[in-house]
Amino acid sequence: MSSIKIRTKRLNNTTQIRTLITHPMDNGRHKDKHGKLIPAHHIQQLWVKHNDELITTCEMGGSISKNPYFDFLLNGGAEGDNVNISWVDNLGHKDSKTHIIK
Amino acid sequence: MSKSRRKFIKQFFSITAYSLSLTTGLLRSSIAMAEWKKEKFQASSYKEIINKLYKNSIFTESRKIHFSRLPKVAENGALVPITVTSTLKNVAKISILVEKNPRPLIAEFYLSPSMAPHVSARFKMAKHSRVIVLVEAEGKFYKKSQYVKVTKGGCG
């Protein structure tokens, strides 16, 4: 199952893109129950594409909350358009998902 | 031996040509897939970030940046919501910083011209601090901040 959930909503002249990603977002400062530091594991970059055109790049550190949520507002956007969201984390894991605006 | 060397040279040049074309392509686009910069997110003070990464640019306090959903008192420092909107034109970049976090820079959003200036996120806060949002629009820098109290810190 993909780690990315995408919801879009067409408003008057804009389209709201909401995304929720399943990711631990460990910043390397928390300790587990044995008192050992949990190594950093967080998303570094996130890309949002609309019909294969890059519309937003987001760079982040470990200070974004666990299971990050983002929303963006796209000018325009029509039924049947593609929205693709992909991310890469500091350990090199990646994921990507494409959503079609309804 | 000589054959493999020739092969190697050939490959080497084709790779460098490819990477060159990639980098020039990247330079053209402002929201390009640039490399994640460690020093930005590892920087440990707000001043350091302003000095080094924004080269002491002057940020003017702006009333055209609006926060919604950002609480005055955050109950859980591990999950503080923020929505940044703006009435500034041609917003290219929105950065969120928490002054007193061990790593102040939270996230940077590079927006293409087809995006409206509207961004939401959820972030962690260690203790009471100012939350600062920096906005770059038409080559000028703007900022807005709000003091947020934290009941329970969320930075380990």
Q: Which residues of B touch A72 (CB under 8 A)?
A: 111, 115, 118-120
Chain A residues close to B106, C-beta within 8 Å: 60-61, 63-64
Residue B146 has pLDDT above 80, yes or no: yes
Which pLDDT does position B18 carry in this prediction?
A: 56
Asked if the Cβ–Cβ distance from A70 to B124 is below 8 Å, we say no
**Whether the predicted model's global pTM rises above the 0.80 cut:** yes
Q: For the domain with range A4-100, which CATH number is right: 1.10.1740.10, 3.40.50.12280, 3.40.50.261, 2.60.40.10?
A: 2.60.40.10
DSSP lists the bridge partners of residue A58 as A46, B109
pLDDT digits (tens, 9 = 90+) for B58-71: 899 999 999 999 99
Verify whether the Cβ–Cβ distance B118 to A73 is below 8 Å: yes
pLDDT (average), residues B106-125: 94
pLDDT at position B153 is 78
Tokens found for residue B83: 């929505």
Nearest to B104, CA basis, from B52, B61, B65: B52
Across the range A63-77, mean pLDDT stands at: 95
Tell me the range of A93-97, B30-34, B39-43 where mean pLDDT is highest.
Answer: A93-97
User: Edge-to-edge, what's the strand order for the sheet holding B65-68?
Assistant: A4-10, A14-21, A69-75, B115-123, B80-86, B65-68
From chain A, the residues in CB contact with B70 under 8 A are: none
State which residue of chain B sits closest to A90, comparing Cα positions: B36
How many Å apart are CA B131 and CA B152, to the nearest integer?
16
**Euclidean distance between CA atoms B33 and A46, whole angstroms:** 9
Given a cut of 60, is residue B22 above it in pLDDT? no
Distance from CA of B3 to the nearest CA of A (A): 36
**Which region among A10-19, B18-27, B30-39 has the lowest average model confidence (pLDDT)?**
B18-27
